[in-house]
Amino acid sequence: MIAKGSADRLKRQGIGSLRDHISALAPFLADHVDDLQSFDDVKLLTVAVDRLPLWHKPGLLCIGDAAHAMSPVGGVGINLAIQDAIAAANLLSASLSGKGPLTDQLLAQVQERREWPTKVIQAFQVVVQKRIISRVLGGTGKVKPPWLLWLFIYFPILRRLPARLLGLGVRRERIAPQARAIPQAANHPR
């Protein structure tokens, strides 16, 4: 990760400097950094944290990355995408298997259910970004860990809390029995 806006400076320092940084930070990659011949081999992925105001239109539903861009903090993009998919399956499976109309209200319920957990995790990511990552990337001296991290060192049992929060999300999703058994024909409409 690099601080926002510092990509040009990195480029000016040259590909050799980037190779050296990578080797120093991750020595197990040192044998492979020569694969980076020039900055054409390097892709910049700009971090964004945002959400669509409206996740659906008649005939269209956005979930996962299509509905909300997550920051890499916590590595939760896949978790959120799967949780959205489970919520959508639970809410829409009956209609998709022909047991009722697939209305706009049903699509809206997917957003209603998943928007709040998305906001909570994004708020957590923004706090970590501002309080820890930005300070580390922008700072020159030693960064003092926030007091919460000290608590994790002295009370290891507390480490389970962020793991649960990130792994299971703030609203747990489980596939409902009726959503497990969508008839094959409904999966592949002709």
Ligand X SMILES: Cc1cc2nc3c(=O)[nH]c(=O)nc-3n(C[C@H](O)[C@H](O)[C@H](O)COP(=O)(O)OP(=O)(O)OC[C@H]3O[C@@H](n4cnc5c(N)ncnc54)[C@H](O)[C@@H]3O)c2cc1C
The CA distance from 43 to 20, in Å, is 17
Element (H, E) at 68: strand 68-69
Interface pick for ligand X out of 14, 16, 75, 146 (rule CB under 6 A): 75
Q: What is the gyration radius of the CA atoms in the chain, in angstroms?
A: 22
- Using rule CB under 6 A, residue 162 touches ligand X: no
User: Cβ contacts of residue 124 below 8 Å, gap of 6+?
Assistant: 73, 74, 165
Interface pick for ligand X out of 1, 2, 78, 127 (rule CB under 6 A): 78
Within 10 Å of residue 108's Cβ, how many Cβ atoms? 15
Helix axes 104-128, 160-168, angle to 10 degrees: 150
Interface pick for ligand X out of 39, 64, 120, 128 (rule CB under 6 A): 64
Nearer to ligand X, 177 or 189 (CB): 189
Cα 106-107-111 angle, rounded to 5 deg: 115
Interface pick for ligand X out of 47, 81, 108, 186 (rule CB under 6 A): 81
- Return the range that interacts with ligand X (CB under 6 A); candidates 74-82, 135-143, 144-152, 182-190: 74-82
Interface pick for ligand X out of 11, 22, 36, 77 (rule CB under 6 A): 77
- Return the range that interacts with ligand X (CB under 6 A); candidates 4-12, 26-34, 68-76, 176-184: 68-76
Minimum CB separation of residue 45 from ligand X in Å reads: 6
- Using rule CB under 6 A, residue 79 touches ligand X: yes
CA-nearest of 70, 71, 63, 11 to 42 is: 11
Positions 34 through 53 that interact with ligand X (CB under 6 A): 45
- Residues in touch with ligand X (CB under 6 A): 45, 64-66, 70, 75-79, 81
